[in-house]
Amino acid sequence: MTSILPSVTVPGSSPAEASRPLPRALQRMLSLDDFEAAARRRLPRPIFGYIAGAAEDNQSLRSNREAFGRYAFAPRVLVDVSRRSQQTELFGRRYASPFGIAPMGISALSTYRGDIVLARAARAQGVPAILSGTSLIPLEDVIREAPGTWFQAYLPGDPQRIDALVERARRAGFETLVLTVDIPVSANRENNVRTGFSTPLKPSLRLAWDGVTRPRWLAGTFLRTLLKHGMPHFENSFATRGAPIVSASVLRDFSARDHLNWEHVARIRRQWPGALIIKGILHPQDAALARSHGADGVIVSNHGGRQLDGAISPLRALPGVVAAAGDMTVMMDSGIRRGSDVLKALALGARHVFVGRPFNYAAAVGGEAGVAHAIGLLRAEIDRNMAMLGINTLREMDAGLLARESLAD
């Protein structure tokens, strides 16, 4: 049976929400990019650096954005677009828009109870959110606050721990499991080191100064968390509670993944009754393997440029993956900042896309209201672009409405 999350009036919000004035800090946010500068001012430098940074020379990070500029729209005109809708369906659920919130680790350091903030806003706005396996709030708390949230797992190193984590997610009530498979070893994130972020998080004079000079974050996020919930732990890496963020054992907890292979996916498929998604696919052959091992879908992703620097951008990889995926659902993340980006990805074969950093910034700037505003901005852009492209449904968004731009231009 198809179900739909709480509906939202396109292009913005419900009538009651539309009549409610935006907080002053959000009135200046006119696009997703606007949240980044505001979050930079609000967050301590190490925390902002962790979110914004990528791997090594940031080649993949830049390529993710540049890829969208290689395609231009070829719109149709004099089409009656008065009945346009951006609703879409995934795995038996209908969503209000073709985008969702990507999994982001330690988002509870960006804003108070950040994982719940993101999941609640997504549910209220009728889009999916994926809870990160490196989150600092127990998955049971998040699914209780926002039923329908997806869970993303970084697989532990041995089968018994894998089985226990999968069973924990099932018992909690998650119906969609996302396996992120592009992190056999930790990436070389020099950007984190340069901004003062480390794993484990090490108290320092620099970190203390950053906190003192950002009193809203210090009081509203960090101290509030300590007083109400104690030192944050990695809550969802295993079936049991993980290490605190300041513990030296954190590094050990995130190692021992370099031996994982497709047999582990097959094992999970036998155990997991819901939708199974493989995230981190860039090569067509891996899409075919995911299909043959029982995956219901894949997310074409290079981890937002945070893993292998120089990896192909997901938008460029998308057509080849779609061709190899057969009837499997193909989704995409990395680099999406505008409604036009969403529609270009759909034209190249994606059924849905996920956006990460901008929603994290929005949560840091305005909490749940900030995330809702960011969702509304992206939704409104999609609505306007659909009208100007001459389409009423997302099914009409295909490669015939795109033209490949010459790199010489």
Contacts of residue 122, defined as CB under 8 A and 6 or more positions apart, other chains included, come to 100, 101, 128, 129, 146, 149, 371, 375
Residues of each annotated binding site? 50, 103-105, 132, 152, 154, 180, 189, 279, 301, 303, 306, 333-337, 356-357
Which own/partner pairs from 66-71 qualify as long-range (CB within 8 Å, at least 24 positions apart)? 66/313, 67/313, 67/314, 67/315, 67/316, 67/335, 68/315, 68/335, 68/336, 68/338, 68/340, 68/341, 68/344, 69/405, 70/404, 70/405, 70/407, 71/344, 71/347, 71/348, 71/402, 71/403, 71/404, 71/405
Helix (H, G, I), strand (E, B) or coil at 403: strand
31 and 376 Cβ atoms separated by less than 8 Å: no
Distances 376 to 29, 121, 198 between C-alpha atoms, Å? 11, 11, 34
Separation of alpha carbons 137 and 344, rounded Å = 34
What tokens does 77 get?
């005109």
Separation of alpha carbons 238 and 133, rounded Å = 9
Helix (H, G, I), strand (E, B) or coil at 95: strand
Residues of each annotated binding site for glyoxylate? 50, 132, 154, 189, 303, 306
Rg (CA), the chain: 20
Separation of alpha carbons 394 and 396, rounded Å = 5
How much helix, strand and coil, in percent to the nearest 5, is found in the chain? 45, 10, 40
The active-site residue out of 233, 303, 352, 373 is: 303
| Amino acid identity, position 333 | D
* Residues counted in the chain: 409
Based on the residue annotation, tell me whether 303 is a catalytic residue of this protein. yes
Instruction: Return the active site residues.
Output: 303
